[in-house]
Chains A and B, each alone.
Chain A
Amino acid sequence: MDDRILTAVAAVVGVPIVLAGYLILSERLLGALSAPVQQRLRPYVWVVPAVSFATVFMVLPTLNTVVLSFMDRKSEAFVGFDNYVFFFTNPDTLGALKNSLLWLVFFTGFVVIGGLLIAVIFDRIRYESLAKTAVFLPLPISAVAASIIWKFMFEYQPPGTVQTGTLNASIGTLGFDPIPWLINSTTNNPALIFVGIWTATGFAMVIISASLKAISGELLEAARMDGANELQLLLLITTPLLYPTLTVVATTMVITALKVFDIPYVLTSGAYDTDVIARQLFSQIADAGHYGRASAVGVVMLIAIIPLLVLNIRRFRAQEEIR
């Protein structure tokens, strides 16, 4: 009845059938060839489906985005670097870029260091799993829901009236005036980044904790025998051994920080100097209908992430070599 259902069925049932057919058929054809030729061709034959999927769904759209970023609002004429000039000169986008850098540094820093400290400390307490659950709990909450929870926490009422926001009610009992957390420009960016940290630290903790358990107890014991104190253990033994894990977590968090959209969108919609580049991308499409500028923002985000991907791939290769 609905063509979308047909499409879905075709995708779920049809694609595996076609794939299987392709492999059976190509194996038949390969079978007709001599053994050394088979050996040479087979890997290419098997890799074709994956490469073509990646090309159609990842590479081509990416290239298309790059092309669009050099075109005008409606993708009709080339405008050279205009969209990039706009991005790097407009006060709105520059403000968003500045805030995204704040996210990059503070969100990533607090999540990785916080996750590491929590993992190490909880490793030594009796109710480890209970404590870890408490930190992990915000993770399954969607960013939108988490933002709404915190919107209530940050709520502001005029001084002298009943404070409905949890934070302002708390500082009120200590005798302080309420703070407009999301409007005041010294508190609003930290407040938003804190919500991000609150949702992501649990993830970092779980990953770091898992590889912490893999560090041999004998190693730590040997260090203790040699007279190392606990701080030295953490800085000189544990942390270096966790480097590969920390890199992965940090990379993931940097990408998350650059992509963050939902928290600023729900809490401030980018007002009061809290805008970030992913929300700028959205706003260039949804408000301005400017596909050129939106694509330029996307390309800048992509370029910003490339060095991290290189770093990760290098590390991955180095580990492969050790094995």
Chain B
Amino acid sequence: MSRSSNGRRSRVAALGVATLVLAACASSSPSASQGPLASGQIGGALTIWTAWGGGELAAFQKVLEPFKATTGIDVSLTTVRDIAQLAINVEAGTKLPDIASPPTADKREDWAKDGVMKALEDFIDIDAYTSATYPALVTCPEATCVDIGIVDGKHYQLYVKTQVKGLQWYNAKVFTDEPPTTYDEMLAITPPSGASLFCMGLESGSDSGWPASDMVGNIIMRQSGAQVFTDWYQGKHKWNSPEIKAAYELFGQMADKAYGGTNTALSTAFQRGHKPLFSDPPGCLFYEQATFVTAFFLEDYPDLKAVDDYNFFVDPGIDPANDGNVMGFADSFVMYNDTPQARAFMNFMTTKEAQEIFVGAGGTLAARADVTNFPDPVFQTAADVAANAKNLLPTPGDQMPSDMKKAYWKSLLDFVNDQSKLDSLLTHLDEVQAASYPQ
């Protein structure tokens, strides 16, 4: 930028103003500026909670830099990993952050109707936002609208980045064949001697089991279709049904082929599960994870190159009628306090400029379809997968009430540990389902 010295001076001035405003805002809130875009100095303070850590958090801090510079807003950013904290604050009536992630699925409708979450229609150009963003994130058949944060036709979640799930990552130097087109073909592949077919990393602290839950979800949508998948996560389809049971059983066959046996799968962190792909001799052929996992590849092996060293294929099909069902995951923000600073932030996050910083930092797709500055060519392939999906379906656990989600994750740990327990696990999940969904 050419206006460097000028800009710097005005930034310093803004800082002074911000301090003054801060000092003054103990009692009165600063006057609202109604401009749709985050241009010009606003000052004041903004609190944001995110669940991100590590590289994702660093990328977000980079996104915030130009926002802070142009608006002079003092952003305080806190990593709050426990999504339940928001609900605890809402129920206790204590202060909410201005901006945070959406709540669990069971609370979205209530929070939208009670005005806890603010509708995007009130402060952003909704047509521009919906036309730029991947359609699956902003349009919905009636029955699934609340799953993506649309209540009574109004949008409450502002999507900023997306991941594609259900990808089989492989070492491109080891696996050089054509990708399998069905699960049967995949399971029939003979790995190099001494290696297993799959690597698995199912451990994730108190969230252990979620990687397996993605794998089962990917099977259900390919085996039984989008309708069963949606009914299932919405609590309208029994766990102890032929469809869900078949998915667990197919996943069980995969777990039987896991590197180091099931104990290794259960005790390996999902961030490290890929390591045997790249060991010499290789320990496994495929590792199923979402797009973000490449950040962990590079943490362990900084010299790896996309395409030459690692690549992926999308989970193969099961029933051809369901080909094109793809699982996605999207990060979104919700505005909880209607302040000019929060409005400015939300508007800023819809811009191509903001999302390009996210994508440029690597490890993610944007929410806008026109952001394509991927540093890593495999992300272009992933973006094409998302854009060409027949149904881009959400991560099922995220759409369940949180006790259902935790029970689902835990059932997978118990199942991998002892597959003979399947029937009693599914019966138990039906009990949780009956009790946990809002009536």
Q: Is B266's beta carbon under 8 Å from chain A?
A: yes
Contact partner of B84 (CB less than 8 A), chosen from A180, A183, A287, is A287
Contact partner of A271 (CB less than 8 A), chosen from B82, B401, B414, B431, is B414
**A283 and B414 in contact (CB under 8 A), knowing A288-B436, A289-B87?**
no
Q: Is B6's beta carbon under 8 Å from chain A?
A: no
Contacts of A90 in B (CB 8 A): 431
Q: Mark A11-52, 1 if CB is under 8 A from B, else 0.
A: 000000000000000000000000000000000000000000
**A271 and B260 in contact (CB under 8 A), knowing A287-B84, A287-B406, A288-B403?**
no
Binds A, one of B111-119, B202-210, B312-320, B380-388: B202-210
**A271 and B413 in contact (CB under 8 A), knowing A1-B26, A283-B406?**
yes
A158→B23 CA distance, assembly (Å):
59
A92→B411 CA distance, assembly (Å):
11
**A157 and B264 in contact (CB under 8 A), knowing A269-B206, A272-B417, A288-B436?**
yes
Q: Mark A209-226, 1 if CB is under 8 A from B, else 0.
A: 000000000000000000
Q: Mark B58-89, 1 if CB is under 8 A from A, else 0.
A: 00000000000000000000000010100110
A180 near B266: Cβ-Cβ < 8 Å? yes
- Give min CB distance, B382 to chain A, whole Å: 30
Residue of A nearest to B107 (CB): A289
Contact partner of B264 (CB less than 8 A), chosen from A1, A156, A289, is A156
A299→B344 CA distance, assembly (Å):
48
A285→B405 CA distance, assembly (Å):
14
Contacts of B209 in A (CB 8 A): 271
Contacts of A288 in B (CB 8 A): 401-403, 436
What's the interface size class on B, roughly?
20 to 34
A21→B263 CA distance, assembly (Å):
65
CB within 8 Å of B: which of A286-310?
286-290
Q: Is B261's beta carbon under 8 Å from chain A?
A: yes
A53→B359 CA distance, assembly (Å):
56
Q: Is B428's beta carbon under 8 Å from chain A?
A: yes
Contacts of A266 in B (CB 8 A): 205
A289 near B402: Cβ-Cβ < 8 Å? yes
Contacts of A265 in B (CB 8 A): 206
- Give min CB distance, B427 to chain A, whole Å: 10
User: What are 24 A-B interface contacts by the 8 Å CB criterion?
Assistant: A1-B26, A158-B259, A159-B260, A161-B260, A180-B263, A180-B266, A180-B267, A183-B263, A265-B206, A269-B205, A269-B206, A270-B410, A271-B410, A271-B413, A283-B403, A283-B406, A286-B82, A287-B84, A287-B402, A288-B401, A288-B403, A289-B84, A289-B402, A290-B403
Interface of B toward A, CB cutoff 8 Å: 23, 26, 82, 84, 87-88, 205-206, 208-209, 259-261, 263-264, 266-267, 401-403, 405-406, 410, 413-414, 417, 428, 431, 436
Interface of A toward B, CB cutoff 8 Å: 1, 90-92, 155-159, 161, 180, 182-184, 265-266, 269-272, 283, 285-290
